[in-house]
Amino acid sequence: MVSEQESTPQAARTGNPLQGALVKYCVMALVEFSILRFVSGRGDWYRAWLYVVLKLAAQMVVGRMILRSNPDLLVERSRMQKGTKSWDKLLAVLVALVGPMSMWIVAALEARWIWPLRVDVGYSTAGFAVCLLGILLTAWAMISNRFFAATVRIQADRGQVVVDQGPYRYVRHPGYTGALAFTLASPFALGSWYALIPAVFTFVVLAVRTALEDRTLKAELAGYAEYANRVRSRLIPWVW
């Protein structure tokens, strides 16, 4: 006989998953704004303030979309789950925290030492556009894949299967593709050439993480090897 707790969806047992996600987004936006504002020492860095606001607004919209399509995914992504691969406990932190924070600090230091910024507004406009496209691609991947966890693990507890719909028809890790686009476009949006250094570092770590996750899925998730034979690109379409 199934207990009442076991038959209750995970999202229902943990309260409103969107509320926790929105709190996390707001905290990170506050941290980001604080770094950009106080390290740079500038109140007129309008590209930075627009970057923070647009990023937070996009996260809130995507969070609501995921709540409608798959609320359990917000719960899954709320913390590091049991079964996370040991190597990803480091790589996930590098990609999600160390890389972005390094980029914010470097951009803020450049704004403090070199003003006005040397990146043309046209490049920043293009950077914002690519950032938005990256967010949209990642959101499409999250909505298409209810197993889009925050860390690499085989989700036997959630009945994980291979997903080949939506953007997964074209690339095997479209969420990472969107994250890559956002990361490499962020220095241009902020107006910082030097921020490209930590952005490229984050790209390298993301590529390593993609390769390790792909190898894990081939070895441990039924049907993934066949899927990989059909969809050849891991991260960048027609390149790798």
| Residue at 129: amino acid letter | A
> Strand, helix or coil at 97?
helix
Over 90: is that where the pLDDT of 6 sits? no
- State the chain's mean pLDDT as an integer: 91
Average pLDDT on 139-158 reads 94
For 18-52, write each residue's pLDDT tens digit.
Answer: 787 888 899 999 999 999 999 999 999 999 999 99
What is the token pair recorded at 21?
A: 């996600």
Say how many Å lie between the first and final Cα of the chain, rounded. 49
Are 60 and 140 in contact, with CB atoms under 8 Å apart? no
Higher pLDDT, 223 or 67: 223
What is d(CA 213, CA 202) in angstroms, rounded to the nearest whole number? 16
| All residues at 6 or more sequence positions from 43 whose CB lies less than 8 Å from its CB, including other chains | 37
Segment 135-141 mean pLDDT:
95
pLDDT for position 8 = 41
pLDDT in tens, 165-198: 999 999 999 999 999 999 999 999 999 999 999 9
Kindly report the pTM of this predicted structure: 0.90
Domains of the chain, first to last: 14-230 (1.20.120.1630)
